[in-house]
Amino acid sequence: MPEWIEKEQSAQVTPFKLSLTDRLLMLLVYYHMYPSSTLLGYLFNLSQTSVLKAIRKLEPLVSEILPLPKKEQDKLRRLQTVDEVEAMFPGFKAFLDATEQEIPRPHGRRKRKTHYSGKRKKHTVKTQLTVNKVGLIVHKTSHVKGSMHDYA
């Protein structure tokens, strides 16, 4: 066989780095735990793109043989009423949310910097509220600087 043919054949990339068994295991781990594709890539020594490609190729084939669970995020839509929320999350007690309130521009340079919200492009304070099913405010946190992240 000519050398250039051997070189071309050796240069061809196989579509998947993992064997079919390992890709199936990865798909089952994905459906059991719903980890991120970054974590699956780390666990199986693949790039995030390769993980998504393998899952996308295997899902239709496996779903013909095994009943794969429907992803919750596919069924979700914005819930409109308290009854819809109660049906989706039985026994819920309250809603928790944060809000930003605009304040006048602070005088001190340091205070301006700490109270500036990059999201709203204004000087703000943030407050976290807990509201029960009836709509009454159950708890309100003290104000924090506008630059503070909501999860802090």
Give the global pTM: 0.42
- State mean pLDDT over 9-34: 78
Judging by beta carbons within 10 Å of its beta carbon (0-12, 13-18, 19+), is residue 16 exposed, middle or buried? middle
pLDDT over 70 (residue 146):
no
Q: Which residue type is seen at 104?
A: P
pLDDT-derived band at 40, boundaries 50, 70, 90: very high
Tens of pLDDT, residues 76-120 = 567 777 787 777 777 777 777 888 888 888 888 887 788 777 777
pLDDT-derived band at 127, boundaries 50, 70, 90: confident
Complete DSSP assignment for 33-97:
H---HHHHHHHHT--HHHHHHHHHHHHHHHHHHS-PPPPHHHH-----SHHHHHHHSTT--EEEE
Percentage of the chain lying above the pLDDT 90 cut:
9
pLDDT over 50 (residue 140):
yes
pLDDT over 60 (residue 145):
yes
What is the model's pLDDT at position 150? 55
Q: For each of the domains in the chain, give its residue range(s) and CATH number, in order of start.
A: 3-72 (1.10.10), 82-145 (no CATH)
For 7-11, 14-18, 76-80, which range has the lowest pLDDT when averaged over its residues?
7-11
pLDDT-derived band at 44, boundaries 50, 70, 90: very high
Complete DSSP assignment for 2-45:
-HHHHHHHHHPPPS-SS-HHHHHHHHHHHHHH---HHHHHHHHT
Average pLDDT score, the chain: 77
